[in-house]
Structure 1
């Protein structure tokens, strides 16, 4: 029988979950949550488990921050005893259905859940390989998340990217499919690629990423070869206006991705064009 109880606990007594893959962003959604809690209070208890003299938060990291912003002395918490793997699975599942999850968040969440479920399953049964067990587990995760087994594995591949490249995926500067292929490069090759991207203001297409992956496997992806591939003119880059993201940052909220900035710029240009068109009539 699961031991659990509801208690009013100070937010500072709740430590974030270890290696929590989801970012707690201070954005417009957080402002709305703060205002909702200010008016209605915390309607749904947070979920935590005992951890030494304090408690480890399993679900409710955004509500915890909102409560801290409001200076609430306590919040309602469902305290439940659970194993490490049970806590990981609950933590991942409680956030996977959120809108606007970043690729890196899904990547590390899927990886943590896959590893926890494999540990729960234990050693493979007779005549069943570890690979088969891994694929079966990924199928379950995909089914629960509304994605295919292969998509789950492709997201998990992103965890092999060096942090600067993974950040570019989150920012929308590197597309998902090329990013998956780039994850097969060695860390040194990835570091060299990131440096080249910054210097040349160019990102690899899927075709280029596939070539880099193949050459990496053949131990032929030298810095010179990387440069030649990356600086090739792509068909969709001809006569393209390129503005460095850093030049635009000061005009947008800090949590905006490159794609969000592009959409806002297009909206402003369209509004200006309509206003000019009306003025000329």
Structure 2
């Protein structure tokens, strides 16, 4: 039998109450899909064996019942485990606070698709901006405020540009979003493609299918430039996509999102880099000693 994880205790003064699953509704436009995958199977087995150790967070709905802020996967695990109620903390949260809490409680998961991350960042950004606008009405020092997307990035150990790039993916048509999620199109060229008009993106989908190839970063940049000058059409797009791709430069790019899960949240990018170099040096010395034997 595996060891049960330690339960999370609610803040002092809050009570955990069992809420019937039939009274729980998903958060509006919840960006994170609930999948019946291997991770869900493990969560369900844990719920069967130990119960729900970390209560969900819900808020009352105007129409009655409750809206899940954090705990969509736990609700699904309860359904699969045959339970009828989910232990939860009931909080009276305004829309923006609930949105920020919903994103923050999910964004650190490992199996998040680019489209999910993009929509989540967008929702959080809009919520922070709305709250900031309300604060700015009484704040005399508006110029000292960080840009909201930089604020989100700083809180997650990434730059505001990375946040803005991810949010741009929400501008992709569904077919291209799916290709990015399926890793048929890399995220970096997708940032460039997102700047194309919807009709140009639809044309790109057709071109990808006909050419059986997806755009590289340089090809996506060329299409974006032609789109901005009004010169992107079927002929110019086909010319770009049918051109032989230049060999990629021999380099490896590790994004902050890829590395973040291996380091404490307090680590800066510089500290992460120093740690990686030290580990590589130790690994190299170990290989050299092994070869000398």
TM-score (norm 2): 0.75
Q: Which residue of 2 aligns with 1:256?
A: none
Q: 1: distance between equivalents of 2:81 and 2:213? A: 44
Unaligned runs of 5+ in 1: 238-281
Q: Which residue of 1 aligns with 2:164?
A: 153
Unaligned runs of 5+ in 2: 1-12, 249-293
Q: Which residue of 2 aligns with 1:205?
A: 216
Q: 2: distance between equivalents of 1:149 and 1:23? A: 25
Q: Which residue of 1 aligns with 2:236?
A: 225
Question: Is the contact between residue 4 and residue 81 of structure 1 (CA under 8 Å) also seen in structure 2?
Answer: no
Q: Give the one of 234, 245, 257 matched to 2:245.
A: 234
Q: Give the one of 79, 88, 91 matched to 1:77.
A: 88
Superposed CA RMSD: 2.0
Asked if residue 181 in structure 1 is aligned to residue 181 in structure 2, the reply is no
Task: State the number of aligned residues.
Answer: 233
Displacement of 1:95 after TM fit?
0.6
After superposition, the C-alpha distances for 1:79-111 in whole angstroms (9 at most, x for unaligned) are 110100010000000011111211111111111
Q: 2: distance between equivalents of 1:11 and 1:231? A: 53
Q: Which residue of 1 aligns with 2:52?
A: 42
Q: Which residue of 2 aligns with 1:137?
A: 148
Displacement of 1:198 after TM fit?
1.6
Displacement of 1:140 after TM fit?
1.5
Q: 2: distance between equivalents of 1:48 and 1:199? A: 48
Q: Which residue of 2 aligns with 1:8?
A: 18
| Equivalent residues in 2 for 1:239-254, closer than 5 Å | none
Q: Give the one of 51, 66, 78 matched to 1:55.
A: 66
Q: 2: distance between equivalents of 1:120 and 1:4? A: 25
Displacement of 1:5 after TM fit?
4.3
Displacement of 1:138 after TM fit?
1.3
2:222 partner SS: helix
Moved more, 115-124 or 93-102: 115-124
